[in-house]
């Protein structure tokens, strides 16, 4: 979701270095406008002041401007400690003194691409704001060979969603869909999602290849780029598929495609909140909760595998 911002900055002549955690660093290595990626050794949670100060000392004097994308205090701390002259970001938790150029947070949830792109200080149309990723053909072929697959000879399922179960289409639905497809389904996700993917594979014998937790991120990207189609929840891999322009169906539950849509002409979105024929209406959606507050998760359970199959764009 941050790629369009980086593309704008690169287009006006800025040389880009991105600081990222190891699990997301490969995403930025697939962006040709990024010149350098610095992997941060930070753990989830906690200020980790000493580690941030150590990196700040290493990069001090190297940069003129820092664009701080996360809204947390700790994300703005490192650029401040590195004495980067211009520090741009949204007003967040106690960050007034850490940022030199501050944008007000929108009252409603805007599309995330536009939210990040606004940090550039420019305004462009939606077409310019569509994320794009590129991989060398050799990297794609290497990933296919390692997995024993052929381009367009399989589908990809990304059944996980780090945020929580209220964003995850049921495993039984993924399994039923796998049994209905004309090609096998490759299951992708993190190591934590391997049991979920194994559940799906066991429920669709001979129809799935479970690679969750077994592929480096760039290899997973290549498998997505070469897939016949992708089915996912509202997740990071959904946006990866969109950035490669792959035919995809994105299933939304507790979140909203008005906020985090797959920006891809080959994408179909299923969200019962937008379906006037669905009764009774989902007045509870979008709740943006990790778990369904009402305990039924109708927003996902009631999206049938046949409905997903029917929404694949022509040619899939």
pLDDT of residue 68: 96
Same domain, 92 and 142: no
Residue 33 counted as domain residue: yes
pLDDT band at residue 164 under the 50/70/90 scheme: confident
User: What is the dihedral angle through the alpha carbons of 138, 29, 151, 167, rounded to the nearest 10 degrees?
Assistant: 170
pLDDT of residue 162: 83
Among residues 104, 129, 154, which one ends one of the domains?
129
Residues 248, 267 contacting (CB under 8 angstroms): yes
Same domain, 30 and 149: no
Same domain, 100 and 166: no
Chain segment 21-42, per-residue pLDDT in tens: 988 898 999 899 999 999 999 8
Residue 315 has pLDDT above 70, yes or no: no
Same domain, 98 and 239: no
pLDDT of residue 312: 78
* Averaged pLDDT score across all residues of the chain: 92
CB atoms within 10 A of CB 56: 17
Give me the CATH number covering residue 80: 3.40.50.2000
Rounded mean pLDDT, 66-73: 92
Residue 37 counted as domain residue: yes
Rounded mean pLDDT, 305-315: 81
Residue 315 counted as domain residue: no
Residue 300 counted as domain residue: yes
Among residues 129, 153, 177, which one ends one of the domains?
129
Burial class (CB within 10 angstroms; exposed 0-12, middle 13-18, buried 19+) of 104: exposed
pLDDT band at residue 126 under the 50/70/90 scheme: very low
Residue 65 counted as domain residue: yes
Same domain, 237 and 262: yes
Same domain, 51 and 149: no
Rounded mean pLDDT, 122-149: 86
Task: Express the helix, strand and coil content of the chain in percent, nearest 5 each.
Answer: 35, 15, 50
pLDDT band at residue 112 under the 50/70/90 scheme: confident
pLDDT of residue 316: 52
More confident position, 105 or 153: 153
More confident position, 96 or 231: 231
**pTM of the full structure:** 0.85
Residue 128 has pLDDT above 80, yes or no: no
Q: Which of 250, 308, 309, 299 is nearest to 278 (CA)?
A: 299
Buried b (16+ CB within 10 A) or exposed e, 74-94: bbbbbbbbbebeebbbbebee
Residue 171 has pLDDT above 90, yes or no: yes
Residue 314 has pLDDT above 80, yes or no: no
Rounded mean pLDDT, 132-139: 92
More confident position, 232 or 24: 232
Residue 219 counted as domain residue: yes
Could you tell me the sign of the dihedral formed by the alpha carbons of 264, 302, 161, 140, in that order?
negative
Using CA atoms, how far apart are residues 127 and 44, in angstroms rounded to an integer? Answer: 34
pLDDT of residue 124: 61
Residue 316 counted as domain residue: no
User: Across the strands, what pairs with 186?
Assistant: 156, 209
Same domain, 19 and 100: yes
Number of structural domains found in the chain? 2
Same domain, 117 and 142: no
- Domain membership of residue 109 as a residue range: 3-129
Chain segment 7-16, per-residue pLDDT in tens: 999 999 999 9
């Amino acid at each position: 979701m941050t790629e369009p911002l980086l593309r704008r900055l690169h287009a006006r002549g800025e040389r880009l270095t991105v600081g990222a955690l190891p699990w997301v660093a490969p995403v930025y290595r697939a962006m040709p406008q990024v010149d350098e990626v610095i992997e941060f050794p930070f753990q989830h949670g906690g200020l980790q002041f000493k580690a941030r100060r150590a990196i700040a000392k290493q990069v001090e004097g190297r940069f003129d401007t820092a664009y701080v994308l996360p809204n947390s205090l700790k994300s703005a701390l490192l650029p401040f400690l590195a004495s980067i002259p211009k520090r741009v970001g949204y007003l967040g938790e106690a960050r007034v003194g850490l940022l030199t150029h501050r944008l007000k947070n929108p009252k409603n949830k805007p599309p995330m691409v536009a939210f990040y792109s606004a940090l550039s200080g420019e305004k462009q149309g939606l077409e310019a704001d569509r994320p794009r990723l590129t991989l060398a053909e050799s990297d794609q072929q290497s990933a296919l060979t390692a997995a024993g697959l052929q381009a367009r000879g399989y589908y990809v399922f990304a059944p996980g969603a780090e945020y929580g179960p209220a964003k995850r289409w049921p495993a039984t639905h993924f399994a039923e869909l796998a049994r209905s497809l004309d090609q096998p389904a490759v299951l992708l996700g993190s190591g934590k999602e391997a049991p979920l993917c194994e559940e799906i594979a066991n429920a669709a014998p001979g129809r799935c290849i479970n690679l969750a937790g077994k592929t480096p991120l760039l290899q997973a990207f290549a498998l997505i780029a070469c897939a016949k189609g992708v089915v996912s929840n509202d997740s990071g891999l959904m946006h990866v598929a969109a950035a490669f322009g792959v035919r995809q169906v994105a299933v939304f539950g507790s979140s909203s495609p008005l906020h985090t849509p797959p920006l891809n002409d080959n994408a179909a979105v299923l969200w019962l909140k937008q379906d006037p024929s669905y009764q009774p209406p989902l007045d509870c959606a979008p709740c943006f909760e990790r778990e369904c507050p009402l305990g039924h998760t109708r927003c996902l359970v009631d999206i049938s595998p046949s409905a997903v199959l029917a929404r694949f764009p022509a040619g899939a």
